[in-house]
Structure 1
Amino acid sequence: MVKLSLSEDNQNLHTVELSYQAAPGKSVGVAGSFNDWDPELLPMAYSPETSAYGCTIHLAPGTYEYKFVVDGEWVLDESNPNFAANDFGTLNSVINVG
């Protein structure tokens, strides 16, 4: 799931909240065009209150592709209806910021 809001800084960045519903005890990260497709740069923390993993990032206006990486498996964000084909014959989720 993706939530967007305007940051309160002067850099024209937007706050993006990403969440992934899964049971506790999993290893969950997010990889995308905003972090060179490295899921270790954006590990997601589990919240018992929401029963989901989440992270917050700040992005400039633009279009970004991403996937969740759950226990080493690359997973589409099924709560996001926006996606694009990738070079591996699968799909990436897409965020349009700003």
Structure 2
Amino acid sequence: MGKVVSFSFHCPGAQSVTLAGDFNGWNVSDHPMVYDGLQTVWIISLSLEPGRYEYKFFVDGKEWWNDPFAPKVPNVWGSENSYRDVE
């Protein structure tokens, strides 16, 4: 049984944001985020098994963004991915 983990991303002006990471094979369409107008953030909750998960936000179908509030690790493309450890 996984643990429910919430992700949020503040991105003013974005028309769409999806969450992609090693938990979904970096598929940019599997986990679309929902815009919360009251908090002005994009949000999603996933059930994840314990472990470390690397991820990024994919904005408007063209730009990759890291989570500004998460730690980072180098990736194979010479940039960084955000990560979250799930207990």
Residue 79 of structure 1 pairs with residue 69 of structure 2? yes
Question: Structure 1: where are the runs of 5+ without partners?
Answer: 1-10
Contact 1:24 1:46 in 2 (8 A): no
**Amino acid in structure 2 at the alignment position of 1:79:** F
Out of 22, 43, 48, the position equivalent to 1:33 is 22
How far apart, CA to CA, are the structure 1 residues paired with 2:52 and 2:37? Answer: 31
TM-score using structure 2 length: 0.93
Residue 23 of structure 1 pairs with residue 12 of structure 2? yes
Contact 1:60 1:97 in 2 (8 A): yes
Out of 27, 30, 34, the position equivalent to 1:45 is 34
Quote the sequence identity (%).
35
How far apart, CA to CA, are the structure 2 residues paired with 1:75 and 1:25? Answer: 12
TM-score using structure 1 length: 0.83
Larger relative CO (CA 8 A, sep 6+): 1 or 2?
Answer: 2
Question: Structure 2: where are the runs of 5+ without partners?
Answer: none
Name which one, 1 or 2, has greater alpha-carbon Rg: 1
| CA RMSD in angstroms, aligned pairs only | 1.1
